[in-house]
Chains A and B, each alone.
Chain A
């Protein structure tokens, strides 16, 4: 049980990690992230990389949709913009430390263009407008052969620094995870600033936000740009991770995946972005492991049991929407409250 967590000034009250216990846990979590590829083995490291990329992309969508209330279905193609930028630059000899930020910035710029309809429309109409971006950019990925390689896509050389190549899951993990941690940290801090609060004000009531002096045009476009920048960052890392991209790498389903991640994790919550991305990535893996159990009993059963994964996965998402609309972040908060009072029951 924690005692004596008294906040004595505003600065301490606004801190991300308010108590020594939180700081110790956070340090332990960082140590866990560093140790993971050493103790987890190749497969866990692979999943760690995938989760890291998805967390960055989900955090980006949460900025646009969760915090600002601007629905975007075209998030996946923004990953594509980052990935193709990085792939093209890497194939032209640009080092990764320049290619990744360039991919993110270009995606951010594209995000502003995609966000322009949000100045006039919102809700379902905006969703359809962003859907158009999905189709337009997918078309560009397929047809602009000299840059994107057309339907055949592009191979990407590994990221390199000096003579060190990030050419295995183990190595690329140490590229992805630090960027993911910094990106999430930046996202968390964003909502302690005027900009972040302006986003939330727009989400809660854009008319009222304008009345109190928030420049709606600027902040809506900024929200789209930031969300897209995160997507571009994730896309750039995706390119270095898979080292092969095609237009089919960024389908509409991936955009739906990220929407589901922010809903399951918790709309308007940085922690929700993390938990949602972890859930959406790992639950299918857990379900497949369960199917493997069925395979031990009867190999033929897999054909019948395997499709159930989709039903169970879908049911889990629907279950969250019905029974815990605030997402995994809320469940996590309840668990924390329980252990904060442990061994006394609340």
Chain B
């Protein structure tokens, strides 16, 4: 018996072709629209960030279109779920570029940014960003069409080291670096050594761990012997930081524990429980609960409350994405005002023209782009009793 008759084969093929073409037909809209493409990790291991990133993009586009778009041109957000897999996010990028040729694109990782970097440079049609603050990507010459709406990881560590220097009254503060054996984890380490030396800070231990590893006993022994006054964690979101802190506290290591931005969401810190009390970290933006008196942040809340009427907190990821959308809008406005077509070079020129820009409260001082990044951060400290993080430094500019 044949497995399919000819008629069945034809019908199946036609149905499949119809299904595959339907999304493309649906997207063929508004030639004057300004398209923002995205590979969004709304599922997979990074979904705890990706869902909020995507929600912020959608909310921003909806709100901006209600206000008449940008110079009368509607924004259109085209995205697909990448599941935080580089191959998939690159495939999505290629598909959206082929179908929409968007002037703005938001990826999902450092891997994505590096994989599409050559294609973006060749096309010169699109300015991109992603939730990656890898120092390699802050390179206007080598990676001309990528920017980050935050400091690089190197600059974040720099903010922490400066804070340590200011806090230490005299002598050489003793710092340990604990980082994951990933590109993310290792990114700022070489620069951290140099900055520490310049600031008169002694790096007394460097501990490399497997990402997400939970058995940290051997590393704790190393740290206990080194007796650091400060321990900086980088390259993690949560695990194994609480385990480290707990075991070090049990070993009576009296150190100040610190982290970088991806650890610093309020909900992540709260998950640490009691061991998270007093945890310090660098954050590029104000927290959403600090919005009072800051018009752009109040605007963000007003829009966000439409879909989250009961929310009393917007994650740092949501804030990051909303702020990145503000930069997308700003550079689009500047490029259009200059009479340019929206493409890579005009958007790059617009980005590099940002100087002393008022962010409406997201960043506590006027922002100027430096190497396609914003080298400003502030140190916050967790208070387990209230569940909030409070600023303990001024805004530190690393440019």
> Which A residues are within 8 Å of any B CB, using their own CB?
41-43, 46-47, 50, 142, 150-153, 155, 158, 167-169, 242-244, 246-249, 284-286, 288-293, 295-296, 299, 302-303, 306-307, 309-310, 331, 334-335, 338, 342, 345-346
Contact = CB atoms under 8 A, between A and B. Distances in A.
Given A43-B94, A295-B23, A296-B23, A306 B42 contact: yes
Given A151-B181, A167-B122, A244-B117, 18 more contacts: A43-B95, A47-B91, A50-B87, A151-B183, A151-B186, A168-B122, A243-B117, A244-B115, A244-B118, A248-B183, A286-B20, A288-B81, A291-B80, A296-B23, A296-B26, A338-B2, A345-B1, A345-B2
Contact of B22 (A243, A286, A296, A335): A296
Interface string B100-118: 0000000000010011011
9 contacts: A155-B142, A167-B118, A168-B122, A242-B115, A248-B182, A288-B80, A302-B81, A303-B43, A338-B3
A43 B114 contact: no
Interface in B134-186: 136, 142, 181-183, 185-186
B296 interface: no
Contacts of A334: 2-3
Interface residues of B, number: 44
B91 A46 contact: yes
Interface of B: 1-4, 6, 16, 19-20, 22-23, 26, 42-43, 51, 58, 80-81, 83, 86-88, 90-92, 94-95, 97-99, 111, 114-115, 117-119, 122, 136, 142, 181-183, 185-187
Nearest to B54: A303
B181 A306 contact: no
Contacts of B19: 289-290, 293
A147 to B, nearest CB: 17
Contacts of B3: 331, 334-335, 338
Contacts of A150: 186
B180 to A, nearest CB: 10
Contacts of B182: 151, 248
B81 A291 contact: yes
A129 to B, nearest CB: 22
Contact of A293 (B6, B22, B43, B83): B22
A243 B81 contact: no
Nearest to B6: A342
A272 B111 CA distance: 31
Contacts of B92: 288
Contacts of A168: 119, 122
